[in-house]
Amino acid sequence: MKLCGWFVGLLLVATQLCAAEAPPARYDVVVYGGTSGGVMAAVQAARMGKSVALIEPGAHLGGMTSGGLSAVDIGDPRSIGGVTREYFTRLVARYGKELNWDQPFKKGSGPATGGAYSIEPHVGERVFDDMAREAGVTVLRNLRLKAVHKSGARIDELSFEDGSTISGKVFIDTTYEGDLMAAAGVEYTLLREGNAKYGEKFNGIYYSPGYKPRLNHKVPGANGRVAGGQGAWDRDFPLDPYVVPGDPSSGLLPLVQAGEPGVPGDPAPGIQAYCFRLCLTTAADRLPIEPPPNYDAKQYELVVRFIKACLANGDDMDLRWFSKHDPLPNDKWDFNTATFGGNLPGASWGWPEASYDERAVIASQIEHYHRGLLYFLANDPRVPKKVRDDMRRFGLPSDEFTDNGGWPHQIYIREGRRMVSDFVMTEHHTFGRKIASQSIGLGSYGTDTHEIRRIVKDGVVTREGKTATGRGGFGPYQIGYAAIIPKAAECNNLLVTFALSASHTAFSSIRMEPVLMVTSQSAATAACIAIDDDVTVGQVDYAKLKKRLLADAQILKWPLPKTKK
C-alpha cells in the first residue's frame, strides 16, 4: 500500500517538529555520572538558573544510594547540609519519619546508620528522579562516554558511543571511576602511594593489628559483637591456604590470591574490594537466589575452613558470620560484606581502567561468586544447620531492581581513580593535623578501607590493606575546594567530586555517599559562578562561593577541638 503525497509531507513536518523539540546538544553545565552526587550537582545547577544535562551511562539514577546501599553510613549527621540533607529528609518522610539533624549518634546505639537512613532502594531512586525532574534537569540515560574534545585546557564537547555529542560551558565528573576526568587528560593515580609520599601512617601495603589472623577470639554476644565492638562478621583465623593443607606445592585454594606480602608502608597497586550491597527480603513473594552457572562448591573450600575455625572457637554461628545485615522497611534487609562475604578481593583492580563491556564482565564475576556463596550457605551440609536455615529465610525482593531480576544494577565501587591536583587531601587533613582551606563541605567517617588482597603471609590466609579505625578522635574535617579542581594547565572547566584529589588512605574516610553528594553540590555552585563571572573553575572567587554555599545550607566548618596548654 502506497502512502499519499500529502500524508508523506505531514510525516516530514511532524518529524521536523519532533527534531526541533529534541533536547539541545549544548548546555551550561554538563554532569557526567548519574550517581547520588550527580543528581545533587545537577539539581543545584538547575536551581541556579542554568541549563543542565545529567548524563548517565546506565539506566538508573542514584548510584549506590539507590543501588543497594540502603543502610547509609553518614558519619556525624550534623556535618551534612544542603541538598543532601534535603534528599534524606524527603526520603525518610516517605516512611513518616523525621531526622534529628542536630543530634549526634549516641554510643551503644549501633552503627552510624542509626536506622533513620535505612530505606528501600526503589524509594531512594524515586526521590532522585523526582528531584531531577522538579528542578528541570535534562536526564540522558544509557550514554557511554567515548571521547573528550578540548581546545587547549578547556573541554568543548563530549562524544558518546552512540555517535551523539554534547557541549557545555562547565563539566562535572560525578562518576565513581573518574571516567570524564581521565578522558580529559587529567592526572590521576590508582596507586596506594605509600607512607613516605605524604608522611602518612595507613597508606601503601598495610596489615592491621586488629585483623591479624589468630586463635582464641572472644565469642560474640547476642548482638553479634564482642565486648570491644568487633563483629562476628569481621574476624580473622589462621586458615591454611593450600589445596592440600600444609603443602604449598598443591597450589592455592580458590579465593586466595598469589603474591608476596611486601613491606608495610611501601607503595603498591590495588584498590579496595568491591561487592554488591544486596537488598534481601523474608517476604512471602521473595524470589529464590539461584546459583550461578557452573556452580562448584569447591570454590568455597576456604569458607569451610573458616567455619571449622569458628566452631572450634566455640561460636554459635548464624548468618551474621557471613554478612552483617541491617533491617529495612517492609521485611527487607541491607546485606553488607564480611570476612567471607560479598567482597571478592582482587577482582576490582581492573575496573577503573576497563571499558564498559569489560566492567560488565567483572561485575558478573563478582555476582557469580556472591550468588554461589549464598547458595552454598543455604545448601551445603558442611555449613551449620542454623546458618543454612537462616539463609533460606531470605530471597531477592520482587519489587526491587525489577529490570535485573531483583539483583542490584549497581556494584559497590569503593574506590576508583583518584585525581592528583595541586592540592591533595591526606590523612593529615582527615585526622585533623592539618586543616584544608576553602572548605566546600565536611567529612566525618572513620578510616574505613576494605581489603585490597587476600594472600598468604606467615603461612596463613591474611587480608592485606584493610583498615577499620577512627581518625584519632578528631571531629568532622574540611574538604578543600582545591581538591575538586584539576591542575589549571590540564583542564580549567572541569570539577571532579567523586574521584577527587586525595591519597588512598584519606579517600577511605571521604568516600561515603553523603559526603560525595555534598562535594557535588558545592562543585555545581562553583560551576555556575564560573559561568556567571566568565572565569575558569580555578579562578572562582571563594568568598562568593562560600556566601552562596552557606545560603544554600551547606555546612563548611566544625568547631575545632581545644588545644592543650
- pLDDT for 102 equals 77
Q: Is residue 180 part of a domain?
A: yes
Q: Are residues 357 and 388 in the same domain?
A: yes
- Say what the pLDDT of residue 10 is: 42
| 423 and 546, same domain (yes or no) | yes
For residues 38 and 119, state if they share a domain. yes
DSSP 8-class letter at 359: H
Question: Which residues are paired to 55 by β-bridges?
Answer: 32, 140
State how far the Cα of 421 lies from the Cα of 156, in Å rounded to an integer: 21
Q: Clarify whether residues 55 and 105 are in a common domain.
A: yes
- Tell me the three cell numbers of residue 283: 517476604
- Contact between 408 and 277 under an 8 Å Cβ cutoff? The reply is yes
Q: Which of 404, 436, 458 represents a domain boundary (last residue)?
A: 404
| Helix locations, 380-502, DSSP H | 385-392, 427-430
Are residues 255 and 278 located together in one domain of the fold? yes
Tens-digit pLDDT profile for residues 259-305: 999 999 999 999 999 999 999 999 999 999 999 999 999 999 999 99
Is the same domain home to 384 and 481?
no
Query: Given the C-alpha cell 554478612, which residue does it identify?
Result: 323
- Last residue within a domain, chosen from 369, 384, 404: 404
Residue 561 pLDDT class (50, 70, 90 cuts): low
Query: How many C-beta atoms lie closer than 10 Å to residue 481's C-beta?
Result: 26
Q: Does residue 491 lie within any of the structural domains?
A: yes
Q: Is residue 525 part of a domain?
A: yes
Sign of CA dihedral 320, 324, 327, 333: negative
What does pTM read for this prediction? Answer: 0.94
Q: 290 and 156: one domain?
A: no
Among 184, 187, 188, which Cα is nearest to 158's?
184
Same domain, 242 and 377: yes
Question: Can you give the residue range of the structural domain that contains 81?
Answer: 26-192+416-449+468-551
Let me know: does 281 contact 331? Beta carbons within 8 Å.
Answer: yes
Residue 253 C-alpha cell reads as 585454594
Angle at 411 between CA 410 and CA 416, to 5 degrees: 115
225 and 352 assigned to the same domain: yes
Domain CATH for 494: 3.50.50.60
- Strand, coil or helix: 451: coil
Pick the last residue of a domain from 383, 404, 425: 404
Between 12 and 119, where is the model more confident?
Answer: 119
* Inter-CA distances, 483 with 22, 71, 116, 316, 510, Å: 36, 28, 31, 47, 12
The residue that leads in pLDDT, 110 or 70, is: 70
For residue 408, report the phi and psi dihedrals to the nearest 5 degrees.
-55, 140
Q: Kindly report the average pLDDT of the chain as a whole number.
A: 92
Half-sphere exposure of 50 (CA within 13 A, CB side): 28
Asked if residue 296 belongs to a domain, the reply is yes
Residue 199 forms part of a structural domain: no
Q: What is the pLDDT of residues 424-468, one digit of tens each?
A: 999 999 999 999 999 999 999 999 999 999 999 999 999 999 998
- Residues 422, 286 share a domain: no
Same domain, residue pair 315 and 221: yes
- pLDDT per residue as tens digits for the range 145-191: 999 999 999 999 999 999 999 999 999 999 999 999 999 999 999 99
Cell, residue 538: 580555578
DSSP-based helix, strand, coil % in the chain, nearest 5: 30, 20, 50
Does residue 395 sit in the same domain as residue 248?
yes
Any domain includes 458: no
The residue assigned the cell 559526603 is 515
**What integer is the mean pLDDT of 20-46?**
89
- Is the separation of the CB atoms in 45 and 493 below 8 Å? no
SS3 521: helix
Q: What is the pLDDT of residue 99?
A: 80
| 506, 478 Cβ separation under 8 angstroms | no
Range from 17-31, 245-259, 472-486, 506-520 carrying the lowest mean pLDDT: 17-31
Q: Where are the beta strands (DSSP E) in 371-475?
A: 418-419, 439-443, 447-449, 453-457, 460-464, 467-469
Q: Summarize pLDDT for 383-402 with one digit per residue, the tens.
A: 999 999 999 999 999 999 99
For 331, the grid coordinates are: 521485611
The reply to whether 235 falls in a domain is: yes
Number of domains forming the structure of the chain: 2
Gap between the Cα atoms of 36 and 44, Å rounded: 13
Instruction: With beta carbons less than 8 A apart as the criterion, state whether 531 and 524 touch.
Output: no
- Residue whose C-alpha is closest to residue 323's, from 341, 344, 300: 341
Q: How confident is the model at residue 117 (pLDDT cuts 50, 70, 90)?
A: low
Minimal CA–CA distance to 335: which of 270, 380, 289, 285?
A: 289
Tell me, yes or no, whether 49 lies in a domain.
Answer: yes
Hey, what's the cell of 505?
Answer: 588512605
Distance (Å, rounded) from C-alpha 414 to C-alpha 520?
A: 17
Distance CA 121, CA 133 (A): 19
What is the β-pairing status of strands 188-189 and 418-419?
Answer: antiparallel
CB 335 within 8 A of CB 247: no
